[in-house]
Structure 1
Amino acid sequence: MAKLITLFRLLPKKHQILLGMLAVFSLLILFLPLEDASASRHTTSKPAVRYEVPLAFRTPEAPLAQGVSESGVPEDSEAMAEAITQQLANETQQALEPQTDRQAGNLAELEHYEIKKGDTLAAVFNRAKLSAREVYDISQLALAKQHLIRIMPGESLAIGKNADGTLQELRYQIDAISTLIISKIAGEYQAQITHKSVEKRQQFVATQIKNNFWNAGINAGLTPAQIMQLATIFGWDVDFALDIRANDSFALIYEQEYADGEFLRNGNILAAEFVNQGQRYTAVRYTDGKYYSADGRSMRKAFLRSPVDFKYVSSNFNPKRLHPVTGLVRPHRGVDYVAAIGTPIKSAGAGRVIEASYNKYNGNYVFIKHNETYTTKYLHLNKRKVKRGEVVKQGQIIGTLGRTGRVTGAHLHYEFIVNGVHRNPRTVNLPKALPIANKEKHAFMAISEQLMAAIAHNQQIRIARQ
């Protein structure tokens, strides 16, 4: 009895009051006589019937031990009340959530069916043991018409079937980040395209050229496409066929794209520097997709330094050259670039074709007037691709390299004329394109300073590790 009194005193005040009221009420019931308080032993009772009580109105089951619930939380406490409320909420949410066939365990694992040469969607479905009706239903979906007709040999369709063998889900990977998903929902097929989230990361590369630019790029881990892009960016300032020297160097930051943590592809070069014969050149990519020097000058020039991808120069600009055919001293007013017959020749700049013809000395030739100051000439072409009066863009193919006219071998003779005077195409100062617009200068400089600082920082780390 003393223990009970001690336990009573330990209870919270409100619990003591409730227990006291309960005790008084119990005494009243014991002493007040009730007519129907007991049932006759001869009364026939109906068999007990079990009724399911909705989840929201169920009461917690009795505890396993006195004073402790199943979850280990003391009874009659606020924690107990919160735990019961949370449990009821979780069970209610689970009951309300619709289950797909895959969640319910009715959908088998997806099986992959490779597309073979000559396959149709019906043929693939036939191998998957699906019905003609299912082929028809799928083929009526707009997204299926758009993408499934493009399936190629070597690709695959992932097909999931219900327990009864009917089609429940079809998946076709459109590309590295996009997947077409066709699912049966409420008895009808529905199609959607899901996209993986693409993350862009920055990668730093730097190296020194030992023998040639191409090998240096490959050894640094660049792809052929990246090497060509880098050469294109600096191609207006550096002649990659003639100007490269041992100990030249380059460094760059480029983007890499990942989808769900898996590498997808290399992206654009964001910034780069190239040191050629002690001269440092910089390039930064802006939001317009164009490249500018670190201080905002356009990397592009109004003219290409060389209009053809050549193997070597057979004859330089020389006012007193001895002619290889006539043996006479005649000025060589251009540069001869040697390459394979048929190599494309590009217009060095935008302009209008003022001559496109043939004679026994020049062979097939094209003259382009760019403005009142500049004119370029292209001689000994194998074929001409433009006509007189035609307007051309910088880099447009105007012909192919050949050996027509008075020549000793296949080459392009290229002349660069400034105000009527022939100038050396390899050394003439080329006019620059427009710099970054003034209204964009502040935003560009913020990007430029950040990227060039990143290159400098990574260069320091690279040198420290050597």
Structure 2
Amino acid sequence: MLKKSMKNLPTPHKWLITAVAGFLFVLFLLPSEQASAYKNTSSTLEIGKRYSLDIKTQNIVAEETAEIEEIENRQSFKVKSGDNLAIIFKRAGLSPQETYKVSQAGTEAKKLLKMLPGDSIELDINQDGQLVNLFYSYSATETLAITQNEKSEFVSSIQTKPVDTRVNYAQGSITNSLWNAGRKANLTDNQIMSLAGIFGWDIDFALELREGDSFYVMFEERFIDGEFIGAGDIMAAQFINQGETYTAIRYSDGNFYTPEGRSMRKSFLRAPVNFKYISSNFKPKRFHPVQKRWKAHRGVDYAANRGTPVMAAGDGRVIKSAYDQYNGNHVFIQHGEKYVTKYLHFTNRKVKVGQTVKQGQIIGTVGSTGLASGPHLHYEFLVDGVHRNPRTVSLPKAQPIDKKEQANFALVAEQRLEQLNNSKRIMLAMN
């Protein structure tokens, strides 16, 4: 429109409009420094003449380009078998001097000595082939960062990613085994083993499970930046075995208690070995398979693979660790003044007389030494010197939760039970 209108104007008018437009451009569209300079010389501007503009360039583009180049020069190196920092740096074209400087970057830099095959380290290398930064993620949440300070010295620090913890639930019904039911409920192997450990003092999972038994589990799940990194601890669980309900609540001390505050952990394990089956029960009279005569069988024989670890059934002190032609390699443990447990036919003994042991500690491995027809653990349980059936004897309870913690635990237990019951109702409604 402007061009068409100007065609009909006299030439002097055209020059006037062009001059005014140019002047406004200088005043309002140029940067302030150039506008000021041209205001001072506006009286000498000539129409139709070209003027050069001395515009200073900014460093923004150069800085952005440098950052991009630095990112583009980040290289990732996977740790191979036999690798160390020097070998990886040589592969990256870095000098031994840089290897030394990085290794001296502070206490945290020693984590580079524990790199494992399959781990990765990332290196920022500039255009001169020199190291700028190093990053080593040694866990899902922690990364070792080695960077240069203002003196161009390498320093180390740990960068930690926040973990988001969420609550999830699972339920299962027994058809043939806890393991299969747990896998069907999408529990991890560790969660299934933890579940067995929580209720293992009350339920014999090898012999007492029945079809139709069920469980409910509330557990933590961990996320970083919205990405699942793994399952956390079980927070509460319930197991219904042959119509009897067992409930466990995890407290801040890491132990599990009944809703009333009694410890789920008993003073003794019901079975101190992961066995295949019971080859011989506690009996007043049994025909001995080796001696070929009738005699009392004062313990329980747990058939298991040779070399299977055997655990101490409870805390105590080893009063015998020896070998003889009848018991083979055997270990006896005294538990206070009242209880003694005996473990026979080991392949190897792992403890010595006088040694203090903790419940669950490995004391030997299953074998068939002495008078034994095959690999198994012969386990005896004595109360005041009298042999009792290890599978049916009443096990003493462990200490309840500390009195100082009872009020706080009651609040936690109430909350956990409400969450567990709500999840059960939702799951049942969905099914």
Shorter-chain TM-score bucket reads: 0.7 to 0.9
CA contact (8 A) 1:138 1:189 kept: no
Which amino acid letter does the alignment assign opposite residue 107 of structure 1?
E
Aligned pairs for 1:404-423 (under 5 A) are 404-423=369-388
Q: 1:445 aligns with which of 385, 388, 410?
A: 410
Q: Runs of 4+ in structure 1 displaced over 6 angstroms?
A: 99-103
Structure-1 residue corresponding to 2:317:
352
Q: Deviations over 1:440-465 (max 9, x none)?
A: 01111111111121111111111111
Structure-2 residue corresponding to 1:364:
329
Structure-2 residue corresponding to 1:148:
112
Task: Give the length in aligned residue pairs.
Answer: 376
Q: Deviations over 1:173-222 (max 9, x none)?
A: 22211223334454614433211111111111111011111111111111
Runs of 5+ unmatched residues, structure 2? 1-30, 37-57
Q: Which SS does the other structure have where 1:107 is aligned? A: helix
Which amino acid letter does the alignment assign opposite residue 169 of structure 1?
N
Structure-2 residue corresponding to 1:286:
251
Which amino acid letter does the alignment assign opposite residue 78 of structure 2?
E
Runs of 5+ unmatched residues, structure 1? 1-51, 60-94
Tell me the distance in 1 between the aligned counterparts of 2:267 and 2:409: 22
Q: Deviations over 1:40-83 (max 9, x none)?
A: xxxxxxxxxxxx979xxx99xxxxxxxxxxxxxxxxxxxxxxxx
Is 1:382 equivalent to 2:344 in the alignment? no
Aligned pairs for 1:104-143 (under 5 A) are 105=68, 107-109=70-72, 110-130=74-94, 134-142=98-106
Aligned pairs for 1:220-231 (under 5 A) are 220-231=185-196
Tell me the distance in 1 between the aligned counterparts of 2:96 and 2:295: 81
Q: Give the Å deviation of 1:111.
A: 2.8
Structure-1 residue corresponding to 2:47:
none
With normalisation by structure 1, the TM-score equals 0.73
Q: Which SS does the other structure have where 2:401 is aligned? A: coil
- Quote the sequence identity (%): 49
Which amino acid letter does the alignment assign opposite residue 428 of structure 2?
I
CA contact (8 A) 2:103 2:110 kept: no
CA contact (8 A) 1:415 1:425 kept: yes
Which amino acid letter does the alignment assign opposite residue 155 of structure 1?
D
Structure-2 residue corresponding to 1:240:
205
Q: Which SS does the other structure have where 1:210 is aligned? A: coil
Q: Deviations over 1:10-60 (max 9, x none)?
A: xxxxxxxxxxxxxxxxxxxxxxxxxxxxxxxxxxxxxxxxxx979xxx99x
- Change in CA separation of 1:436 and 1:136 when aligned onto 2, cut-off 3 Å: closer
- Change in CA separation of 1:124 and 1:407 when aligned onto 2, cut-off 3 Å: closer
**Which shifted more, 243-252 or 149-158?**
149-158
Q: Give the Å deviation of 1:327.
A: 4.9
- Change in CA separation of 1:116 and 1:353 when aligned onto 2, cut-off 3 Å: closer
CA contact (8 A) 1:108 1:162 kept: no
CA contact (8 A) 1:381 1:399 kept: yes
CA contact (8 A) 2:119 2:138 kept: no
Tell me the distance in 1 between the aligned counterparts of 2:225 and 2:211: 41
- Change in CA separation of 1:120 and 1:418 when aligned onto 2, cut-off 3 Å: closer
Q: Give the Å deviation of 1:375.
A: 1.7
Root mean square deviation, CA, Å: 3.0
Tell me the distance in 1 between the aligned counterparts of 2:87 and 2:320: 59
